[in-house]
Amino acid sequence: KQEVTQIPAALSVPEGENLVLNCSFTDSAIYNLQWFRQDPGKGLTSLLLIQSSQREQTSGRLNASLDKSSGRSTLYIAASQPGDSATYLCAARANQAGTALIFGKGTTLSVSS
Amino acid sequence: GAVVSQHPSWVICKSGTSVKIECRSLDFQATTMFWYRQFPKQSLMLMATSNEGSKATYEQGVEKDKFLINHASLTLSTLTVTSAHPEDSSFYICSAPGDSSYNEQFFGPGTRLTVL
């Protein structure tokens, strides 16, 4: 059964720092992997989607990488801003039709000004 | 991107009552939808897979008689929490895979259920 782990659970950084959030998954046979952002009490905002055949995806200051063989993904945030403060969730989808995403517990990021 | 809506966005009910939550795909069809539950400061846990035209499949530990799922059409799935109790208070989120080759999951905004 797929398990997704995110490290660290919480992270505090000053504004302007570059940072990396880590995600690992136990079953490398994934279809794709998504990174989400969740603000307190809110729903999910999809940030990046990486297909199993891809190595990375970029959107603005965000860059997500995927290494299937090692079961790892990272989310790189450049030049962090206070508005980046949120919980970041990593989710993997099994390599089967009609399967749901399995989520990690998330990393709660706090960026201070 | 594709849009998934949920209704209501929040609901407060008395213990013992039933609550229905709707999940709609607004601009695409979804033969499959997923229901998740999120307790405070926890991650999203998959509850069940809703299948249009057939029975839902439930994850281990989720009571199918308590959480009734009906996938009435290609754009609508409903989750009914029957005889709700305070421990059912949670954030319920649905999702549906888009119809592109990327098969990205699109999530609804969630429904916060509080059972008194």
DSSP state letters, A73-102 = EEEEE-S--GGG-EEEEEEEEESSTTPPEE
Q: What is the DSSP letter of A99?
A: P
Q: What is the DSSP letter of B86?
A: G
Confidence of residue B1 (pLDDT cuts 50, 70, 90): low
Going by C-alpha positions, the residue among A76, A89, A87, A77 that lies closest to residue A34 is: A89
Confidence of residue A97 (pLDDT cuts 50, 70, 90): low
Q: What does the block give as tokens for A42?
A: 């809110």
Q: Which of residues 29-88 of B touch A (CB under 8 A)?
A: 32, 34, 36, 42-46, 49, 51
Q: Which residues on neighbouring strands pair with residue B51, listed in sequence order?
A: B32
Identify all chain A residues contacting B97, using CB atoms and an 8 Å cutoff.
98
pLDDT of residue A94 exceeding 70: yes
Q: Is A51 on the interface with B (CB under 8 A)?
A: yes
Higher pLDDT, B50 or B1: B50
Confidence of residue A95 (pLDDT cuts 50, 70, 90): confident
Chain B: give the shortest CA distance to residue A26, in Å: 17
Lowest mean pLDDT among A91-95, B31-35, B47-51, B102-106: B102-106
Strand A10-14 and strand A107-112: the pairing is parallel
How far is Cα A38 from Cα A88, in angstroms, rounded to an integer? 6
B81-95 average pLDDT score: 96
Q: Is the four-CA dihedral B10, B12, B15, B18 of positive or negative sign?
A: negative
Q: What are phi and psi of A92, to 5 degrees?
A: -115, 145
pLDDT at B40: 85
pLDDT of residue B2 exceeding 90: no
pLDDT at A41: 86
- The string of pLDDT tens digits covering residues B38-63 is 998 888 999 999 998 889 999 999 99
Identify all chain A residues contacting B104, using CB atoms and an 8 Å cutoff.
32, 34, 46, 49
pLDDT of residue B99 exceeding 90: no
How far is Cα A32 from Cα A51, in angstroms, rounded to an integer? 4
B88-103 average pLDDT score: 85
Q: What is the DSSP letter of B91?
A: E
> How confident is the prediction for chain A on average, in pLDDT?
94
Q: Answer yes or no: do B43 and A104 touch at CB < 8 A.
A: yes
Q: CB-CB: which of A43, A89, A100 is closest to B43?
A: A89
How far is Cα A27 from Cα B101, in angstroms, rounded to an integer? 22
How far is Cα B104 from Cα B98, in angstroms, rounded to an integer? 6
Q: Answer yes or no: do A100 and B106 touch at CB < 8 A.
A: no
Q: Is A89 on the interface with B (CB under 8 A)?
A: yes
Size of interface A-B (CB pairs under 8 A): 57
Q: CB-CB: which of B51, B103, B109 is closest to A43?
A: B109
- The string of pLDDT tens digits covering residues A24-73 is 999 988 989 999 999 988 899 999 999 999 999 999 999 999 999 999 99
Identify all chain A residues contacting B36, using CB atoms and an 8 Å cutoff.
100, 103
Q: Answer yes or no: do A32 and B102 touch at CB < 8 A.
A: yes
